[in-house]
Amino acid sequence: MGITRRFSWRRSISSLLVVALVVGFLVAFVPAQPAQASGYCTQYHTVKYGENLFRIGLQYGVSWTYLKAINGLYNANWIYAGQTLCVSTGGYSPPQYPQYPQYPSYCAKPYVVRYGDTLGKIAAWYGYNVYYLAQFNGLYNANWIYAGQTICLP
Give the integer Cα–Cα distance in Å for 152 and 113.
10
| Per-10-residue mean pLDDT, the chain, length 154 | 61 71 59 48 88 88 86 84 84 53 63 90 89 84 84 85
Pairing of strands 43-46, 150-153: unpaired
**Amino acid type, 132:** Y
Domains of the chain: 43-88 (3.10.350.10), 109-153 (3.10.350.10)
pLDDT of residue 145: 86
